[in-house]
């Protein structure tokens, strides 16, 4: 089944403790992206990648890092999480043809205390 | 920079009534527009793409470049249509290759009452 898989689904952590949220897709998509979803703010793009080793900042990149060493994986790294990064995070992937739209993962609910 | 505005945070209608979810965008070029839907506790799913002019689950959306709008419509709402709806905009080159950035509106929560 074609899908985007994120892990973990739920995560509670403490301020300052580094964490990684993994994302993997099995559709051979060139593009991958991370979003955060907050009430009243909709989805905001954190980082996106157009190919292996090619990444770019989205609208809210501060406090996040990404890497794209393999085509199928696009992990999101929080080096020093803070409470304002408590959010619902979505990974998504797409072919390079814009018409097909993005396929989204199930989301990771992160709480930073 | 591109921007997507969904003016209604909440929209309530009764079953069988027509529904229109508004979406306006700002971009001087030719964007690609999408509607995504998120049912309760589920992932976002692509509902419509303007380029394909399709009708999914009875929903349609027409791109109006003069008004820079891409409103989502359905003539007869159903209870199962209750969800969060997002309008989104993407940019591409002349060959249809995406630049990778997808911008979402704030979303509209649609509630269809029995």
Rounded CA-CA distance B33/B43 in Å is 19
At residue A99 the predicted structure's pLDDT band, cuts being 50, 70 and 90, is low
Select the residue from A98, A104, A106 to test the B interface by mutation, using most B Cβ atoms within 10 A.
A98
What are the Cα distances from residue B94, in Å, to A111, B30, B99? 42, 9, 11
pLDDT, one tens digit for every residue, chain B (114 residues): 778 999 999 999 999 999 999 999 987 667 888 999 999 888 899 898 877 767 788 899 988 888 899 999 999 999 999 999 999 998 776 666 667 778 899 999 999 999
Calculate mean pLDDT across residues A94-102. 77
Please enumerate residues of B whose Cβ is less than 8 A from a Cβ of A: 6, 9, 32, 34, 36, 42-46, 49, 51-52, 86, 90-92, 96-98, 100-107
pLDDT at A73 > cutoff 90: yes
Q: Is B31 left (phi over 0), alpha (psi -120 to 50) or beta?
A: beta
Q: Which residues of A60-80 are buried (b: 16+ CB within 10 A; e: fewer)?
A: bbeebebbbeeebebbbebee
Task: Please state, as a whole number, how many other Cβ atoms lie within 10 Å of the Cβ of residue B105.
Answer: 25
pLDDT of residue A15: 97
Q: Which residue has the higher pLDDT, A77 or B62?
A: A77
Rounded to an integer, what is the distance from CA B61 to the centroid of its chain?
7
Q: Within an 8 Å CB–CB cutoff, is residue A3 touching chain B? A: no
Q: Closest to B102 (Cβ–Cβ): which among A33, A40, A96?
A: A33
């Amino acid at each position: 089944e074609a899908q985007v898989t994120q892990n973990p689904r739920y995560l509670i952590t403490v301020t300052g403790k580094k964490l990684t949220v993994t994302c993997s897709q099995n559709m051979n998509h060139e593009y991958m992206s991370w979003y955060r979803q907050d009430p009243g703010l909709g989805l905001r793009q954190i980082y996106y990648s157009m190919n292996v080793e090619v990444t770019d900042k989205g609208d809210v990149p501060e406090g996040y890092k990404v890497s794209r060493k393999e085509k199928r994986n696009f992990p999101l790294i929080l080096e020093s999480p803070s409470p304002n990064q408590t959010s619902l995070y979505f990974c998504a992937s797409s072919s390079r043809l814009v018409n097909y739209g993005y396929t989204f993962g199930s989301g990771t609910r992160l709480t930073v205390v | 920079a591109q921007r997507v505005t969904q003016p209604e945070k909440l929209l309530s209608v009764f079953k069988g009534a027509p529904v229109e979810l508004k979406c306006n965008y700002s971009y001087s070029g030719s964007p690609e527009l999408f509607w995504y839907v998120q049912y309760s506790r589920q992932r976002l799913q692509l509902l419509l793409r303007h380029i394909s002019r399709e009708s999914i689950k009875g929903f349609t959306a027409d791109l109006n470049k003069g008004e820079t709008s891409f409103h989502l419509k359905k003539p007869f709402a159903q209870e199962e249509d209750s969800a969060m709806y997002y309008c989104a905009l993407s940019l591409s080159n002349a060959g249809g290759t995406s630049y990778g950035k997808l911008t979402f509106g704030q979303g509209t929560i649609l509630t269809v009452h029995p």
